[in-house]
Amino acid sequence: MIVTAGIVGLCLLLGSLRHREQEIQQQGVAGFLSVIIALAVMLLILPNETHGSMARGEFSTFQLISLALVATGLYGAFLYMQTQRYAEHYGAQPPGHGEAVPSPGRFATGLAMLLVSLVAVVLLSKHVAAGFEGFIGNFQLQDPDAVTGALVAVLVLLPEGITAVRAAARNHLQHSLNIALGSVLATIALTIPAMAVISVVIGQPIVLGLEPEDRTLMLLTFGLCILSFGTGRTNALTGVVHLIVFAVYVLLLFAP
């Protein structure tokens, strides 16, 4: 919700205010949305409908591991399509068309810095979450954990969000959407399988099924994304609608 309603809405609005209308690669965005919607429904809605576990919103161990493998496999297939077979649909040149291949040393350095950055973000989020919990405890909220989780998510997504908004403002909306939707896809396709493995290892159940209001907002946002990007051109109105849905999401965090 933070990305598909908030960050995407901000990108569409600011980009359209500066450039009136912006064009995107429909095939690329459709590829993102097809994988995101499929995984979101299977991993966040289907748990409420299955009977593999006695508790509502949970998969059985077999179901959990099976769908974790499906998620990672589908993510791998998407990465191949995005970076190799259909790279032009995502605003990139096809392989072998003048792109410089990084040296092994440069690749190793980049990989090491990526891992260092990820560890830093995780450690920072842990300390910031404790501060958020202490601060939110001063208010009489019905669901303080949801508010804390949303604030930590905003913090983690802030660098990508800033980069996506800046790209949209420079009239590079396709690059902006690649960043924003890519973060959503990675969150669903990698984070949930990782948590599934941890759940099985430590023997603690993981509740994936969304509450009815969250499920409704998620499906509404997916529908908006399909309509917003369906013509290949975007404008300020679509950005406003996304931001209004995001405002309702924030409202329900504080007043569920």
Does 107 map to a domain? no
- Residue 246 sits in a domain of what CATH number? 1.20.1420
What pLDDT score was predicted for residue 3? 93
Query: Is residue 214 pLDDT above 50, yes or no?
Result: yes
What pLDDT score was predicted for residue 101? 61
State how far the alpha carbon of 240 is from the alpha carbons of 126, 175, 237, in Å: 33, 20, 5
Does 239 map to a domain? yes
Does 101 map to a domain? no
pLDDT band at 74; cut points 50, 70, 90: very high
pTM, 2 dp: 0.84
Query: Is residue 42 pLDDT above 80, yes or no?
Result: yes
Does 73 map to a domain? yes
Does 111 map to a domain? no
Q: How confident is the model over 99-125, as pLDDT tens digits?
A: 556 678 887 888 888 788 777 777 777
- Domain residue limits at 64: 2-94+120-254
Does 112 map to a domain? no
Count: domains in the chain? 1
Share of the chain above pLDDT 70, in %: 94
What pLDDT score was predicted for residue 13? 93
d(CA 93, CA 189): 25
Query: Is residue 192 pLDDT above 80, yes or no?
Result: yes
Does 126 map to a domain? yes
Does 115 map to a domain? no
Q: How confident is the model over 164-176, as pLDDT tens digits?
A: 999 999 989 889 9
Task: Say how many Å lie between the first and final Cα of the chain, rounded.
Answer: 15
d(CA 251, CA 155): 19
Query: Is residue 96 pLDDT above 60, yes or no?
Result: no
